[in-house]
Amino acid sequence: MSANIKTLKVALLGAGNVGSQVARILLEDAAALAARTGARLELAGIAVRNIDAPREVEVPRELYTTDASALVRNADIVIELMGGIEPARTLILEAIEHGATVVTGNKALLAVDGPTLYEKADAAGVQLSYEAAVAGAIPILRPITDSLAGDKITRVMGIVNGTTNFILDAMDSTGAEFADALAEATRLGYAEADPTADIEGHDAAAKGAILASLAFHTRVALEDVHCQGITAVTATDIASAKDAGYVIKLLAIAEKLDGGVSVRVHPTLIPREHPLGAVRGAFNAVFVEAESAGELMFYGRGAGGSPTASAVMGDVVSAARRLVLGGPGRTDSTIEVLPVLPIDAVATRYYIGLDAADQPGVLSKIAALFAENGVSIETMRQTVHRDRDEAKNAGPASAELRIVTHRASEAALAATVEAIKGLDIINSVTSVLRVEGV
Ligand code: NAP
């Protein structure tokens, strides 16, 4: 390697879980990175709040600074790993203004103000990359924007939140209720002290908006994403889904439909043999369907310092290569302005669990209501709980009914469920969940 190769100054903002691992790689692997990029990546400084805080990785103390702004002004590449909205947003805008390439993993900021940042970067001709913002270590954004750039993506379905996958997987394998599985996730460090953003689906929705924007070359904002979390998923839902050959996952689903795109996050039944059905624990996976490529699946760790640092470094190397070769930076291609359709425009299959009286004619009454509302039944299974109820002396025997429909609109399904609730033979509607991957 020539001693005269270009030096690129790298400013690292943040030395937490991810930032400290990025610093480690930049320092430990400097020679390999220089060989791969054709430039010396010089870690010019690391901005933190507290210079004396204990760190996971040993870094020369003089690299730490509390003056993030000064660091940004002198950098060729700015890696933002502070998290949060401010001062991250101001610093990224400052970096763009100074012509620096920006790499970030800040999904919260991209969800709130991504379009402003993309536009500023485009206008300034600088690169803004954020592979780490979706599904941690998994290379998914560059495959979508580069490898599949010559194809047409039709659908993306992702398990993009490890906390909720851990919880649902624990419920599936142990039969635990949601609250107990969440407590276990918190105890093991998979859930944060305030798990709202994860369990209510907001984190997955932010990632869904990014995936949809890139897959369909359009702008999808966080507020366009229909979002339902997993707090209402019960052990009964999980058990009956399991019994019927399904597993419940929190999916972020982006799809191209006639007249626009749809992006939604909700607990979803998928067949256990579907590739996404095999994603256990806190792992993430993204299943992509494209016109020519067919089905692809990307799988790996969705979080953690080292895995996420790998995704960050992929962006850094790619940015450095571009800076060495010259040419303008590129964010993403928003060549289309597609309407984001409301959830009512989406037709999916549904799974409905019912607790009904075990009487003659029950099935035909229920089937008639589905037909009246234009919802076609694919399968209906009945399990009679005569022994259980008699043992408990709980009155007449009841039947558990599990119905899977053909594709139906949300409105038609809601009308059907309302009508079923009005039947005197129905004790309760125990589950209404969407089904995908069939
Ligand atoms: P973290 O552990 O909380 O670290 C944040 C770092 O930023 C700390 O070093 C902190 O300094 C510094 N910082 C925060 N505010 C600052 C300020 N105002 N001025 C100067 N320094 C400041 O966060 P993380 O887990 O590494 O996550 C970083 C980013 O990566 C976030 O956007 C996150 O969403 C994203 N991400 C994380 C993961 C993951 O697994 N952790 C996965 C994917 C994406 P002090 O140390 O001095 O407090």
Alpha-carbon gap, residue 342 to 368, rounded angstroms? 28
Do 158 and 285 form a contact (C-beta atoms < 8 A)? Answer: yes
User: Average pLDDT of the chain?
Assistant: 93
Whether the ω angle into residue 87 lies within 30 degrees of 0, i.e. cis, is yes
Alpha-carbon gap, residue 130 to 281, rounded angstroms? 24
- Atom of ligand 1 at shortest range from CA of 303: 40
* Distance (Å) from CA 91 to ligand 1 centroid: 14
Alpha-carbon gap, residue 63 to 216, rounded angstroms? 41
- Atom of ligand 1 at shortest range from CA of 136: 43
Condensed to tens digits (0 to 9), the pLDDT of residues 52-100 reads: 999 989 999 999 999 999 999 999 999 999 999 999 999 999 999 999 9
Span 118-127, mean pLDDT? 92
Pocket test for ligand 1, best of 25, 50, 81 (most atoms within 8 A of CB): 81
Span 376-383, mean pLDDT? 92
Alpha-carbon gap, residue 96 to 409, rounded angstroms? 44
- Atom of ligand 1 at shortest range from CA of 83: 32
Span 321-339, mean pLDDT? 78
* Distance (Å) from CA 110 to ligand 1 centroid: 15
Outline where DSSP puts E strands in 302-346. Answer: none
pLDDT at 329: 65
Span 259-267, mean pLDDT? 96
Phi, psi for 32 (deg, rounded to 5): -65, -40
pLDDT band at 326 (very low <50, low <70, confident <90, very high): confident
Phi, psi for 291 (deg, rounded to 5): -55, -50
Q: Which of 109-123, 136-150, 242-256, 365-379 has the lowest mean pLDDT?
A: 109-123
Q: Which of 270-284, 373-387, 418-432 has the lowest mean pLDDT?
A: 373-387
Alpha-carbon gap, residue 248 to 121, rounded angstroms? 39
pTM exceeds cut of 0.85: yes
Q: Which letter, b or e, does each residue of 337-355 get, where b requires 16 or more Cβ atoms within 10 Å of its Cβ?
A: ebebbebebbebbbbbbbe
Report the share of the chain in percent with pLDDT over 70: 95
* Distance (Å) from CA 216 to ligand 1 centroid: 30
* Distance (Å) from CA 339 to ligand 1 centroid: 34
Strand 426-435 versus strand 283-290 pairing type: unpaired
Residue nearest to atom 31 of ligand 1 (CA): 83
120, 207, 249, 256: the active-site residue? 207
Strand 347-357 versus strand 246-257 pairing type: unpaired
3-state secondary structure of 408: strand
Outline where DSSP puts E strands in 196-258. Answer: 226-227, 246-257
Condensed to tens digits (0 to 9), the pLDDT of residues 148-169 reads: 999 999 999 999 999 999 999 9
pLDDT at 369: 95
**Does pLDDT of 293 surpass 50?**
yes
Alpha-carbon gap, residue 286 to 299, rounded angstroms? 7
In 5-56, where does DSSP find H-type helix?
Answer: 17-28, 30-37
Q: Is 9 tagged catalytic? A: no
pLDDT at 167: 98
Span 9-25, mean pLDDT? 97
Pocket test for ligand 1, best of 12, 13, 17 (most atoms within 8 A of CB): 17
Residue nearest to atom 25 of ligand 1 (CA): 17
Distances in Å between the Cα of 308 and the Cα atoms of 121, 343, 402 are: 23, 32, 41
Q: Which of 11-15, 89-93, 330-334 has the lowest mean pLDDT?
A: 330-334
* Distance (Å) from CA 249 to ligand 1 centroid: 28
Alpha-carbon gap, residue 161 to 268, rounded angstroms? 14
